[in-house]
Chains A and B, each alone.
Chain A
Amino acid sequence: MAGILKLRVTWLWLFLIAATVASWEFGHGLGFGENIRLSTTAVIVIAFIKARMVILDFMEIRHAPPGLRLLLEAWTLGVATTLLALYWQSA
């Protein structure tokens, strides 16, 4: 059981929990004062950084065939960018 501290995924898990707490705070509008747009941008960016970490290290795509990694990186970047563009267009 002590071996789990040696695993990269354990440290990533702790980071993911911390990132969730941070985005939760941004969801309350903290961090950028009254600037809701910046808080929401932070929320979306953090969510996709978390998603990418799960993809690369929990799913082990870091060591997957390059084609699959490319597809998943494109998914992350593409969806994040589209959501941010739609958000900024509407706000």
Chain B
Amino acid sequence: MSEHTARRTPHLPGETGVWVFILGDMLMFAAFFIVFMFYRGEDVALYAKSQLTLNQHLGAVNTFLMLSSSWCVAVAVETARGGRPRGAQVWLLSAMACAVGFVVVKFFEYSEKIAAGFTLTSNDFFMYYYMLTGLHLMHVLLGLGVLNYLWFTLRAPPAASTLRTLESGASFWHMVDILWIVLFALLYLVR
């Protein structure tokens, strides 16, 4: 058990402002998930038919990449707490590599769909597909910037504020992971 896991006093991982942003984002996506499921119920046949054209393998690969990236960030935080900023940087680089992989797969997937004639305006399913995955992709790109910033933060001599910044960025990145976990189930797997 790490020192942190054993700690008894409650600890907010990151800054309060970041958490306000994270909670707001999670509420917004919760509304989107519910709206999607509601409208799916209005036309199950159309949603089921459209879903069949999605590439489940690419969706699953991206889930593996997202989970792995999130894990790398969690290990980076633990490593930094253990007083090894260089090690933490390596873990952040691994996390960024997974995130870049996610973006590459997503663009490949979009181009495959567009080439097959499925666009934002094809039908309601594809409107939600592009809107939800696109909004999530924007979070991934923003997250990549955050991870990059964290990497630079760890170059400076360690300070208490460094860990706090690291926790804030890590919490945001885990949220991006959580949102994808639900999106993968909703868009690719729910039948």
- Chain A residues within 8 Å of B, Cβ to Cβ: 4, 7-10, 12-13, 16-17, 20-21, 23-24, 26-29, 36, 39-40, 43-44, 46-48, 50-51, 54-55, 57-61, 63-66, 68, 71-72, 75, 78-79, 82-83, 86-87, 89-91
Segment with Cβ contacts to A, from B11-19, B116-124, B126-134, B154-162: B11-19
- On whether the beta carbons of B185 and A59 are closer than 8 Å, the reply is no
Contact of A9 among B78, B178, B188, B191 (CB under 8 A): B78
Q: What's the count of A-B pairs with C-beta under 8 Å?
A: 135
Q: Is the interface of B mostly helix, strand, loop or mixed?
A: helix
15 additional A-B residue pairs with CB within 8 Å, beyond A13-B74, A58-B70, A87-B37: A8-B1, A10-B75, A16-B67, A27-B190, A29-B191, A44-B185, A48-B182, A54-B177, A58-B73, A58-B74, A63-B10, A79-B34, A86-B40, A91-B41, A91-B44
B residues near A13, Cβ cutoff 8 Å:
67-68, 70-71, 74
